[in-house]
Every structure is written in structure tokens, then in C-alpha cells.
Chains A and B, each alone.
Chain A
Amino acid sequence: MIHSLLAKMDAKLGFEEAKAHCDVPCGIYDPSTAQISALTVVRMMDLMGDLLSGLSDWDGEAANRIVRYVAQKEEHAEQVKHEIRIIWGDYIKAPQVEAHPNVHELTHSIMTTASKCRQGTSRDDGLALVELVNQFAEIFWATKGVSTKRAECPYAPNLEVVYPKL
């Protein structure tokens, strides 16, 4: 009965929550997996485009390749969402949000853009995803006190990537 009463008060007033944090906090967070996955999304879009533009007739070989490209695009777009969600949910706390107030909006943009990449084949969406994840990486490294640089990755799709200056 007391708990029910408190639950009603909580719903109205919003008591502060204390967590017991029983899982093991390994403390290992790094946006590089998300960055590589975002690049892979663009790479798969490019491979799909190359295949389709040079295709005169569909055959089993072409169908097999396009299915594999789409499957990889799906998997890596989802991987971007997964990796960013973990950093955002487990690592980004009030002090980081205070220093980088756009991080929530940026994270949401990454979620929606990655979904667009799953749904379609627009290279512009893929490029937007790479750039958003780059911005997230810049915020992440700033919270670690590590400066970053932007450089073209030395492999296809040869896009600009944020690297930590360690």
C-alpha cells in the first residue's frame, strides 16, 4: 500500500532514480566500429550501383551478388545503430551531455539515417550517415580529452573519417 502510494507520487513528481549498476562496466567504448560500419554501408551501395549499371541481363550470379550486398548493407546499418546506442546509453552521462548538448539530437539523427540506409539505396543517405557518425566520434573523443583529425580513409569508399590523435 505504501509502495502504491509512492508509485503514484513518483508518477506525478518524478523521484530521482538510483541505480545499483550490477553489470560489469568494462569501460571499453570506441566509435570506430560504428565508423567502419557506416563506411561499409556506402561501400555496399557503391557495389550495388556498379553491378546494376553494368548489367545487361539478370542471371543467377548477379542476383546472388546483389542479395549479398543488400544483406551486408542491412547488417552494417544495424551495427551502426547498435554501437552508437551503446555508447550513448552506457557511456554518455550528464557531464558529457552538458558539454555537448546536441548529442541526443545527433544520436537520434544517426538512428533515423541508418534506418533510411536500410530502407533504400540512396548514396546521399550513406554519406550523411558517415558524416553523422564522424560528428559523434568527435564528441566521443572530446569527452576523453583526445583531439581528432579528419583524413580520407585509405580504402574504398575513400571518404573522410574522424581519427583520434593518440
Chain B
Amino acid sequence: MEPSYRSGDYVLVGTARWLWKANPGDAIVFRHERLGVLIKRVVDVDTERQTYAVEGTHSDSTATADLGPAPFASVIGRVLLHIPRRRR
């Protein structure tokens, strides 16, 4: 999800979903059935269908249009802390 997150960065993920809810702008980590564990930014919350619409922060990044919405149940957690890799 460059440029916000780059390969090798670490994130601290809050997994206690009863403590938080993801809002537009938050980064979440979730399991995609085909692509595995992904990190994306929430752009919309559909409380009726219990899904998040997501996007990356790069123009080429795949978003909900390609991935499908992320069901609440697929979410591992919300990113609480971002520890970027040192840039040289």
C-alpha cells in the first residue's frame, strides 16, 4: 500500500474488535479468500451488509472494485501503530 506502507514496515494490529470499530481512513488487516492477508485503508463502512469498502494509497493499488468488499468477519484487526523501515 505504498506510499503509506512500504515493504518491510511493521504494524501493530489491534485484534480486539469489541474495543474498536474501523472508520473510513483507518487501515485494516484482513484475510482475503484468494489473496491471503492484506492491508488496506477503509473508505466506507456498510453496516447493513457488514462489510468494509477498501482501497490502497497508490494509484495502481487494488481496491474493492477488484477485491470485493471485506466482510467484518474477515478482519484480523485495525492498524494501531506503524513502524516504518528506515529509508536509506
Q: Which of A3, A18, A21 contacts B29 (CB 8 A)?
A: A18
| CB-defined contacts of A55 to chain B, threshold 8 Å | none
Nearest to B28 among chain A residues (CB) is: A18
| CB-defined contacts of B78 to chain A, threshold 8 Å | none
Smallest beta-carbon distance B87→chain A, Å: 11
In whole angstroms, how far apart are the Cα atoms of A25 and B36 in the complex? 13
Interface size class of B (residues with CB under 8 A): 20 to 34
- In the complex, how many residue pairs between chain A and chain B have their CB atoms under 8 Å apart? 65
Q: Given that A3-B83, A6-B10 are contacting pairs, would A18 and B33 also be in contact in the complex, using a CB cutoff of 8 Å?
A: no
**Please, what's the 1-or-0 string for A7-34, where 1 marks a CB less than 8 Å from any CB in chain B?**
1001000011111111111010000000
Residues of chain B in range 1-39 having any CB-CB distance to chain A below 8 Å:
1-2, 5, 9-11, 29, 32-39
Decide: B29 and A22 in contact? CB cutoff 8 A.
no
B residues in contact (CB < 8 Å) with A: 1-2, 5, 9-11, 29, 32-40, 56, 58, 60-62, 66-67, 83-86
